[in-house]
Each structure stands twice: as structure tokens, then as C-alpha cells.
Chain A
Amino acid sequence: METNVKSACETCGLYNKAGLKKLGIHTDNFDFVVALAGNPNTGKSTVFNALTGLKQHTGNWPGKTVTRAEGGFEYNTQKYKLVDLPGTYSLLSTSEDEETARDFILFGKPDVTVIVADANRLERNLNLVLQILEITDKAVLCLNLMDEAERNKVDIDIRTLSRDLGIPVVPTSARFNRGIPELIQTISEIASGKIVCKPHRIKNVPKNIEKAVKTLTENIEKEFPNIPNSRWIAFRLLEGDKQIINALRTGEFI
């Protein structure tokens, strides 16, 4: 069964349990920065706590984490700093939470972005996932709450999902620590460049908008070759996002 998250990984050579050390809030001299994004109520903070060994409290209440929490872990002698972003439904609006999350993924340039999604409500969660994939191409989907999904008889084909999204997908149940080792392994492989993602880009865009976006994207790429998110910047410019316009002027996101 695909949704079975218990794995033999802990015993296999790839996953080095001895190599894992949870660092709590002591995050000096890290090698990689990992951002943790996701909708509210997906157990994002539980994932954060499972990774760092911290005990940050967040209630079963949307929009609880207002400030950013930071923590760290060490895996195979490399130190990772983990930043827990506020839970948001989207990055397109202009609320404080969304700006914090958006700014970190765009300007903070994390080495890996972990997107936590509720396996029971995947469609709703994909709204945020697809937006993040427009911004960064180093991401992993952490499909959390798999235990609930199993109970609710939601069957997810991980391989197909991973292929469609173009990023690795790791099923987890962070409450019971299931899937966390695999998640750490995947994070390290993306950070070191062992896994290269080809993220999904938004397709069903109406023709007139696609045309406008294309014109803008070409112009942006002429000016800033090799940026991964020119299309997303084009989206934001069409929306008249003042912050992005300013950032474009100062060249902040390059």
C-alpha cells in the first residue's frame, strides 16, 4: 500500500540514524537553511518539533504561529537551520503572515523549502504548493497526517503526485514521528544537489494573461538571466505588487 509510511529505511544504509542530532534552538554556523511552509492546520509545527526536538506550542487554530520560529538539526555532520514560517493559504494576498512567508522564500533564498500539506485536503493545500513552486525549485512536499488519511480511506499515489509536481513527496505522520527520517534524508539530498527538481508550473492560465506574462518574463530574463522565478515575478508585477517592484529596482532577490 502506497500510504503505508512505516518504512524499513531506518535500518538501511542510506539513512544514517547515528548521523542525526537535533539541535533545538542552537543554530550557529549552519550549512543549509531550510524553510518550512504550509497551510494552517496541517501539523506544520509538529513537523518542526519532530525535526528540531523543540516543543513549540501551536493550537488547533488557524493562524497561530505569527512570528517565525527557528530551530536546527545536524545530519551527517552538516548543520541545518530550520525556519518555521506562518501557516498561510496562499502567498498572493497581502496579509502580514503571507508577506513574512513570501519574503523568506523569495529573499531569504532557503536551500530547501519543505511544504507541509494535509493529505486529507490535498487539493486545497496544492494552492499554496503550486505558488511556492513558482518561486523556488528546491522544494519537497511533506504529505503529513497520513494516519488520518488512512483512517478516512484517502488513497494517495505518491509516485504519480511526485511526478506531477516535479518534486519529491514524502508521506509522514509527524505526531508519531513516522516518515521524519525519510524527510530528513530527502532534505539533505536536495540541499546537496543530489536531487534536482523540475517543479510544476501553473498551466491553466487564460490566453490573454499568458501572453502578457510571457512578454514580461522575456523582458525580465533579458535583464536577469538565470533567475528561477521570472514568471512569478511577472505575476506579481501584473498584480502591481509594490514590494516586488522595489525589490526589482534594488535587485534584492538575485
Chain B
Amino acid sequence: MKDNNIDHIIELSNELRWQIGDEFHDNLTESIYADAAEIVKDSVKTQDGEKRFRLDAKIDKIVTSKTWGFPIMFLILGTVLWLTIVGANYPSSLLASLLLDTVHPILRSGADSVQMPWWLSGFLIDGVYLAVAWVIAVMLPPMAIFFPMFTLLEDFGYLPRVAFNLDSLFNKSGAHGKQALTMSMGFGCNAAGVVATRIIDSPRERLIAIITNNFSLCNGRWPTQILIATIFIGAVVPKSLSSFASLLAVIGIAVLGMAFMFGVSWALSKTVLRGEVSTFNLELPPYRPPRFWKTIYTSLIDRTAIVLWRAIVFAAPAGAVIWLISNIHVGGDETIAAWLINGMDGFGFLLGLNGVILLAYIVAIPANEIVIPTILMLTVMVTGIGGGAGAGVMFELDSINATGDILKAGGWTLLTAINLMLFSLLHNPCSTTIYTIYKETNSVKWTTVASVMPVILGFVVTFLVAQIWRLIF
């Protein structure tokens, strides 16, 4: 009986909807706003009408002007990145000397004194502990600097203006202007950048932003770029220009990443994610002075800590794997690592890389921070040259020259260096990011696309560079 009545109501509503036509929603919204206008007229008195408030308008005029808009934007982003990279140096080396040079030996001798079997202490201390320590030392300081600064800009209200300025570029690649923000966030951490795509409210554009976020060079990869550029690129120019040249090379890689981001966004929106931005609107909120300490506190708690924790969770097993493959032997006295490196050397050569680099990128999927230490350890292992701390023990050297010597002994050339820089930009996202992509999209398909597509691009690009390089030189 009751169901009948309800069906009747629904039938009736269908009938009435047919009668009043398609403009119902428009009419309703207009009615509501008409009411709102009446109420406001009744109770609100303003002095200067609906004009926007003076200071806001003034700031906006400058930060979106033809002359100053872009310089200011680059200056701010550049400053944030510069402060992050330079400012992180000191605390990073402090953490490294504490965790790697002080705590690690203590743990080792502690393990020896309780007569822990070598394989257990190696697995736990040289494998798991070292990887975690490395991730913390490399990752924590830049994130603790980058995220609060970014959050301050966000709270102040500047970021929507960046989206506003850049939107037409994104428009041309079929994406949403707010992707400018998630992209910048990605310079800090891709996982955080992926989470930040929530601000894009249409699903297609959000997916594009998620898939292409990996093209922002993240904090874990900046140090690799800088180190390799300093050793190899800086060396080919006169000494007085070397730091300038290596800086230029790193910036070039970051800009190339943005170019790939636009290109891939464009390609996606022409093929599998066909379409145009369906609902674009961008509110430019009023500026609000951020509350400095509170912002710093919350951004440390909300962003840095969460991302760091996830990275640690993923890095620990990676450390274990690295130690295991360097210490377990297959067949004769070849370790799994050496066996894998031999197997991949041919393919690595085609890409202008080598087996060591490829293996390092496979085991370092969990965290880009441990790529360089892993490469060094593996290079020492396969070349048999002196140095290093033993099989499966990641290490880094204090002097850049010493690092360069080891790499050169491993057969590295300028081509290897350039291609490593390219491959560091164009490879699968780290597992923290992959996991985050899965959580945000809830789709295995898109997570796979986002993970595999950059590696394929990396293979293609390094392959082409290698062949052309060899043709020319």
C-alpha cells in the first residue's frame, strides 16, 4: 500500500517535471539568489559597494600582470626550491653522520657483542636499518623545509594565482589550471602532489594530473641530479664555469620534466582520456595572512610526517632486498646481484646505461633516495675495486671526487651520466607514490598506466639519446 503511494509520488514528479521543462534548476537557483539579495539589502550596509578590497586588488594587479606575473612566479618557486636544496644540506649531513657514521657502527658492535649471527645482523643492520636511515637523512630535511614553505604560500592565497597565470598552457594540453599546483607540489614529493590533486574537481582532469605528477622532479631525485651533474657535466667545462654548468643541467632536467608533463597531458587528452575540461572554474580567494607557527606545525604533522612514515615503511624491505641479493649466491660464487647485473648489462648498454644502474632502479623502487648509495655499493662489488663497506652495505662518500672515481672505474662516461639524469627523471614513481595513486584513483588500471608509462618513456628517450650520441661522437 505504502509502496504504491510512493510510486505514485514518483510518477507524479516525473509528470510534473515534464510539464515545467528543462529550466527548473536555473529557475530554482535564480529564486534562491533573489531571496539572498533581498535579505542582504535588508541587513547589510557596505561603504564601497561590491568593489573588491583595495589591498587584495593591488597585490593581484602585480602578481598577475603581464610584466611581473611570471618573473615573480619563477622567483618564488625558485627561492623555495633553492632554500630547500641548500638549506637541507647541513641538517642532512648532520643526520647522515649521526645515523650512518655513529649509530650504525654502534649497532654493529652491539650485534657483535651479543654474538648475533652475521647474516642476521647483516640483514637487519646493513640492510633494513641502513635503508631507513638513508631515507630519513636524505628526505626529512628537504621535506621539513619545502612543505611548510609551500603551505605558507597556500595559506596566504598565492597558489590560486599561479593556477590562474598558467591556465592557458594547461588548457592547450587539455588539462586543468590547478594542475600547476599539484605539479609544484610534486617538486617536493610526488606522493603529496598526487594527494593534492583532490583540488581538481572534474575526474578526467584529475586523472591527468595524477598520471603526470611523476614528471615533477621530487626531493628524492634532486640530490642525484645535482651529484651526477657536478661530477660529470661540471667536468667538461672550464673550472670557473663548472658549478654554473651543472646547475644549468639540473634546471634543464627539471624544465624537461615540465615539458614532458605538458606533452603527456596533451597526448592523454587526445587519446585514452579524450575530452575537454568540463567544469572549469577557479576561485581567487582573498589573501589572508597565514599564521606562521601554526601553519608550520600543521604542515609538519599533516604532510611531512605522513609522507616520511610511508617512505620508511617502503624503504625498510628494500634495504633487506638489497642486502639479500648481494649476499645470496646462485650457482658458483656469483651473487644474485652480480647475476642480475650481468643479465641486464646488454639492455643497459642499449640505453646508454649499465646493469648496475638498472638493478639499482629496480631495488630502489621504494625510495629514490637510495639510488646513489646502491649504485656505489653495486659498482664496488662488481668492479672489485677498493672502498666500500662490504657486500650489501650501502654507502656514500664524503668527497665528490672519490664518488666520481668509483663511477668512472665502473665504466661511466658523460653519456652514462646524462642518461642517468634523464632516467632519474623518466622512470616509474616510487612505491609510496604508486600506493598513493592507487588509494586516490582506486583503479588498478590507472595505477598501472601511471607506473609503467614513465618507464617506457625513459627507455625510449635514453635509447634515442644513446644511439644519436654514439653516431655523433
Contact = CB atoms under 8 A, between A and B. Distances in A.
A adjacent to B, CB under 8 Å: yes
Candidate in A62, A92, A202 with the most chain B CB atoms within 10 angstroms: A62
Interface stretch (B38-46, B135-143, B393-401, B458-466): B38-46
B44 A203 contact: no
Contacts of A122: 36, 40, 44
Interface string B1-38: 01101101110111011011000110111111111111
Interface residues of B, number: 62
A216 B285 contact: no
Contacts of B156: 60
B345 interface: no
A238 interface: yes
B324 interface: no
The number of chain A residues touching the other chain, given as a range, is: 35 or more
Nearest to B9: A219
B38 to A, nearest CB: 8
Given A55-B298, A204-B34, A240-B17, A157 B39 contact: no
A237 B13 contact: yes
B47 interface: yes
Interface string A209-227: 1001001100110110000
A155 B43 CA distance: 8
A130 interface: yes
Contact of A161 (B10, B34, B39, B48): B39
A155 B45 contact: yes
A155 B44 contact: yes
B151 A130 contact: no
Contact of B31 (A40, A164, A204, A238): A204
A127 B32 contact: yes
Contacts of B310: none
A41 interface: yes
A95 B48 CA distance: 35
Contact of A123 (B40, B159, B291, B297): B40
A154 B46 contact: yes
A239 interface: yes
A249 interface: yes
A126 B40 contact: yes
A160 interface: yes
Given A155-B44, A160-B42, 17 more contacts: A61-B159, A61-B199, A62-B283, A123-B37, A123-B40, A126-B32, A157-B42, A160-B43, A161-B39, A161-B44, A202-B31, A208-B20, A212-B20, A215-B12, A216-B12, A216-B16, A223-B2
Interface of B: 2-3, 5-6, 8-10, 12-14, 16-17, 19-20, 24-25, 27-40, 42-48, 53, 151, 154-157, 159-160, 198-199, 201, 283, 285-288, 290-291, 294-295, 297-299, 301-302
